[in-house]
Copies of this chain bind each other. A is one copy, B any other.
Amino acid sequence: MADINLDTAGKPATDRLAAGHDAPDEIVALIELLFFAYRDFVSDPDHILDNYGFGRAHHRVIHFVGRNPGMHVAELLDILRITKQSLSRVLRDLIDKGFVYQREGSRDRRQRLLYLTPEGSELHGRLITPQIARIRSALGDIDTQTSEAFREALFAMIDQDDRHHVLSLIGDAGKPPA
């Protein structure tokens, strides 16, 4: 934690001059807070995943399949914004190790519907627990309105044309902003 040699003790003005940008400090603060919040937010699951020989990619699959049982591969690709090949490797790991299984779609037998096995479900629970705790504790310090505002702000950060999709994923808990 060594004390640092930031020659911009007072910050704002100095930085803006040095950088030569017209970046409003309150906004830049939000940019950095998002970075730090996300960094720490994923660190808890990361440690757990180590014990299984899995990585973040596996976590994402476990999470979305866990929350949307019967989801098919194309939908997962769309959510994760990765290629078929990238997903394929991760999915194979999860299936081989017995955390995810596939079933043929009944409506469309080309589709492979994805489900968590009991082991997968248990891991899902383990991974989400610290994240829930972190958010609870973060919002616990704050009032309900803040929590609502947090949801709205995060939602508004998402690409316009993907918001309806996200809404359909997160369900009623993410009510459309008034």
Contacts and interface: CB of A to CB of B under 8 A. Distances in A.
Interface of A: 1-2, 4-8, 10-12, 15, 18-21, 23-41, 43, 60, 63, 66-72, 74-75, 78, 81, 105, 107-108, 111, 113, 116, 121, 124-125, 128, 131-132, 134-139, 141-142, 145-147, 149-159, 162, 165-166, 168-174, 177
B19 A124 contact: yes
Nearest to A39: B81
Given A25-B172, A135-B31, A142-B149, A40 B162 contact: yes
Contacts of A5: 70-72, 75, 105, 107-108, 111, 113
A169 B32 CA distance: 9
Contacts of A23: 125, 128, 132
Nearest to A29: B173
A177 to B, nearest CB: 7
